[in-house]
Amino acid sequence: MMQMAKGVPVATVAVNNATNAGLLAIRMLGVGDADLLARMNQYQEDTRDYVLTKAEKLRKDGWEAYLN
């Protein structure tokens, strides 16, 4: 069994992780709705930026400072 990170649209989702199921549904609906697809793409870009910021903080400060 494999679990994808939050923000990755997948057909199989983990228990208590409705976000990925919702993203998959939006991607499917976005085939016929350009605005919906654009909004999803923006959400994914924002999520990517958030994750990269957290990763940089972890790299710079170390895991102990990150968790505090």
Tens digits of residue pLDDT in 15-51: 777 887 888 889 899 999 999 999 999 999 999 999 9
Name the token pair of 29: 């609906």
CA dist., res. 35 & res. 58, Å (int): 35
Q: How confident is the model at residue 67 (pLDDT cuts 50, 70, 90)?
A: confident
CA dist., res. 28 & res. 63, Å (int): 37
Model confidence, pTM: 0.65
66, pLDDT greater than 90: no
1, pLDDT greater than 50: no
